[in-house]
Structure formats: C-alpha cells, structure tokens
Amino acid sequence: MVLVLGESLFDVFPASNSRRFGGAPFNFACHLQRFGYPVTLVSRVGADSDGQEILDILGRYNFDLSFIQVDPLHATGQAIVSLDSQGVASYNFPENSAYDHLHLDDMPFPDAQPPELVYLGSLLQRSDAARAQVQRLLARLPRKTRIFYDVNLRAGCDRREIVEGTLRYAQVLKINDAELGWIGARFYPEASEQNCIAGLFDNFPAMRLIMVTRGEHGSHLFTRQGEEAHAPAHSITLADTVGAGDAFSAAAVIGLLKGWDIATINTRAAAFSAAICGIAGAIPADASFYRQQAFAHFRRLG
C-alpha cells in the first residue's frame, strides 16, 4: 500500500471566475489508483462547502474517506492562480488553511500495516505544527518503508528547514531542474549540478535515487552507482503541461514497486508524463486512458 500525505485544495482562477480541484497529492494518488495500486490519501479539509465538495469528489474516485480529516475551525485550502501575458501561472496560498492542521500523531496505518511507500511534498509542511507532525510520522516508519519526496516548491514552503528536514528521511527524491538549482544555491553554493547531486548523496545517507525532470529536455535519474538520462524521442501533441510531474512520479513509483531498473523507470515514467501532456488537465476523464497506457508501458513490458 502507498500512503500519500498532502494538501487538499481548489485552484481558484479569479480572472475567469472558475476553480478546479487538484494538487499534486491527489493527481499522484489518482494515477496510482487508476492503475490498480492500493493507495490511501491522508489530508484535511474544512467543515465548509468546499470541504464537502472535495469529500464528494474523492468518494467518486473511491478513496477511503476515513483518512480525510474534517477541520471544524479552519477553511478548506485554496490556491489563488494568476496568469501572466504568456499564460505562466503564479500561485498564492492563503495561510492557516485546514491542511496546515493535519493530525498525524495518533493516526493508525491503513489495515494496521506500515505502507510500502510514503509520498509527500513541501506545501503540507509550511506550518510549524504540520511539519513537526510529518517529521514524527517519518521517524516512526520502519526502515523497509520507502519515502518518496516530491519537492514541488511553492510560495510559503520554499524554506530550507522544510526541504532539509524531509531530505533526512527520503530514499527517493523527485525534483525539477529549477528546484535543483534552488537546492544547489542554498546547500552547495557555486557547485556544479553534478557536484550538487553528489552532495545530496553524501549528506543524506538514506538517499538512493534522485530523479530530475527537465521539461521538454527529458529527465535524468541518479543513483549511488550510476545515472541514466532520457531525452524525448519525438515531439508530442501538447495540450498543456498541468500535472506532468505528478504523472512522472506516479509511473516512477510503479517502477519502484515492481523492481524496474532506473533506465526502465526513466523511459516509462517519461512516456506516461508525455501522454498526460497530450490531454487537457492533469487527470484523464476517460478511465480507458489508463488501460491503454498500462498495455503500452506497464503490463505488456513487465
């Protein structure tokens, strides 16, 4: 079972008076579930209409709602999205949202068994209280549980103590090239990218795999024994890039659970990410999309 810790929120677009439920934890969890992997999403929403709508959505996706906490005091999270003239988005996250008050200390593991893998990011840990609870949960996990950290920096969580605290536990790090530059500037000033990667392995003993996504330039996976770069073999029909990184993470986790080598993980994760870029939004409306992808990239190839 995969345990996903994360924020639940609506992306709000004031310019078009519209909104959309999403966020990296849901996108990631939804992909895994649609591919048939047991996954539990742990989050917190407000006791408000937005929170009830999120519960309804998660129910339709067959998530276990007993792990979605309802906060009587704090509002469901939002991300206020602004688009510049080029269509590039910036985000503002109102503080003191329900997910900032997630309770983990007394949370039982699903089916009373530690998970095979825990997925988490940075935004959930922006409050001191939530970060402390996350860190205590990570500390009580057995050694065999792999921790997958998708850095996913956003305003308010781009702080060294959040990233460094999570890196102490992470066995797998997923990061884009801009975020790698952010880490390099704060942890290894003036070091080359290669030396930054080496520094992460040297300073965080639990780390086993670092995955760097580079947008249209492909992806690069590093282990302590070697590395594997993947460049896109051909251009794709691009609808948008929403959720591309979350798709890469989900496919990579399937590879980790199935024991693929890093070249196979890189190739298949890149292929699924590219497929998501070919549709509008992060989650396909038609479940047959997953059957096609599973045949093309997962089941047929082992």
The string of pLDDT tens digits covering residues 56-90 is 999 999 999 999 999 999 999 998 888 776 656 67
CA distance 42 to 40: 6
Q: Which two tokens stand for residue 42?
A: 């742990």
**Number of helices (H) and strands (E), helices first, in the chain?**
9, 13
pLDDT digit string, tens, across residues 98-142: 999 999 999 999 988 999 999 999 999 999 999 999 999 999 999
Pairing of β 68-71 and β 18-22:
unpaired
Residue given tokens 């530690």 in the structure block: 114
Look at residue 231 in the predicted model and tell me its pLDDT.
Answer: 87
Look at residue 298 in the predicted model and tell me its pLDDT.
Answer: 65
CA distance 115 to 117: 5
Q: Which two tokens stand for residue 15?
A: 């310019």
Q: Which two tokens stand for residue 162?
A: 């959040």
Helix (H, G, I), strand (E, B) or coil at 18: strand
Neighbours of 280 (CB within 10 A): 9
Does 300 score more than 50 pLDDT?
A: no
135's CB contacts (< 8 A; 6+ apart) are 165, 166, 169
CA distance 126 to 162: 7
Choice between 290 and 203, residue whose per-residue pLDDT is larger? 203
Does 277 score more than 70 pLDDT?
A: yes
If we measure between CA atoms, which residue out of 162, 67, 68 comes closest to residue 121? 162
| Per-residue confidence band for 302, with pLDDT thresholds at 50, 70 and 90 | very low
CA distance 180 to 192: 11
Helix (H, G, I), strand (E, B) or coil at 155: coil
Provide the CATH topology of domain 2-7+23-76+94-298: UDP-N-acetylmuramoyl-L-alanine:D-glutamate ligase (3.40.1190)
Look at residue 232 in the predicted model and tell me its pLDDT.
Answer: 76
Q: Do the beta carbons of residue 28 and residue 249 sit within 8 Å?
A: yes
HEC assignment per residue over 57-90? HHHHCCCCHHHEEEECCCCCEEEEEEECCCCCEE
Look at residue 7 in the predicted model and tell me its pLDDT.
Answer: 95
| Per-residue confidence band for 297, with pLDDT thresholds at 50, 70 and 90 | low
Q: Apex CA 271: angle with CA 265 and CA 277, to 5°?
A: 135
Q: Check the CA dihedral 135-101-154-220 and report its sign.
A: positive
Look at residue 15 in the predicted model and tell me its pLDDT.
Answer: 80
List phi, psi (to 5°) of 22.
Answer: 180, -140
- What is the value of pTM for the model shown? 0.93
Residue given tokens 């460094």 in the structure block: 164
Residue given tokens 């067959």 in the structure block: 62
pLDDT digit string, tens, across residues 194-222: 999 999 999 999 999 999 999 888 999 99
Mean pLDDT of 235-253: 85
CA distance 218 to 77: 32
Give residue limits of the domains in the chain: 2-7+23-76+94-298
The overall longest dimension of the chain from CA atoms, in Å, is 51
What are the CA-CA distances from residue 19 to residues 14, 22, 61 (Å)?
8, 10, 19
